[in-house]
Amino acid sequence: MSETMKNFSITINVWRQNSPSDTGRMISYPVTNVSPAMSFLEMLDVLNEELIKKGESPIVVESDCREGICGCCGLVIDGNTHGPDKNSTVCQLHMRRFKNGDIITVEPWRVKSFPIIKDLAVDRSAMEKIMQAGGYISVNTGACPDANAILVNRDDAEESMDAAACIGCGACVTACPNGAAMLFTAAKISQLALLPQGHTERWERAVNMVEAMDKEGFGNCTNEYECEAVCPKEINVSNIARMNREFLIANFLSKK
């Protein structure tokens, strides 16, 4: 068996915080018999099982699909948003990226708009409030229209689908030095602005979602491009430019 396939041991320095009002602290835990085939979350499962056996409180970490499509598993690993792999999620990070004896630091998202609930779980409802402000279209109820009833330019459709790939994980926010949610908000605005179905509320949507973003305390974009660099779905920053145009035009039209 090669060295890379052998089980090994590591040490996890993990953030523990009992409640939002707790000050929190880093605690070290040894993890033995780590398989290189494990995902990072599976390794945390093994650690939690050991903690429960000892009568200790398990580490709270949010996860759901474990397939890189839900955006729940937001962590900072060794200072890297979602870990060392580019454009990935924590559940897709495998322990073969580490080696025997490594000391790994695990922290939650460190953003004012994402208050810590407990340990590694944070409250990302601020992003949901942005979506509630305009991330939808209003349609008449009734029978489903024919698929070709509204023709859509292929390039627009492809670009809209690229923006719709955003999973709302918050990586863009935590990687941004300003704690900006502009890539997320821009993706949701672009997704609908590019399609004729979204044009009815197009300008109102841009204003409402940007205002909701500001109200929730997110910072502003200063073109660092850190958001695009860590996005698991590789959302392009060109969407931010589109959002800015939509917002400016909406404000111009409202003053006419």
Q: Are 173 and 109 in contact (CB under 8 A)?
A: yes
Residue 1 pLDDT level (bands cut at 50, 70, 90): very low
Residue 256 pLDDT level (bands cut at 50, 70, 90): low
pLDDT digits (tens, 9 = 90+) for 39-97: 999 999 999 999 999 999 999 999 889 888 998 999 999 999 999 998 999 999 999 99
Domain 3-118: state its class: alpha beta
**What are the sequence ranges of the domains in the chain?**
3-118, 125-254
Task: Locate 45 and state its tokens.
Answer: 């499962």
Same fold across 3-118 and 125-254? no
pTM: 0.91
Q: How far apart are CA 244 and CA 88, in angstroms?
A: 27
Which helix (H) or strand (E) segment holds residue 14: the answer is strand 8-16
Which helix (H) or strand (E) segment holds residue 44: the answer is helix 40-53
CB count within 10 Å of CB 250 equals 17
pLDDT digits (tens, 9 = 90+) for 106-165: 999 999 999 999 999 999 999 999 999 999 988 777 777 776 778 889 999 999 999 999
Looking at CATH, the fold of the domain delimited by 125-254 is given as Fumarate Reductase Iron-sulfur Protein; Chain B, domain 2 (1.10.1060)
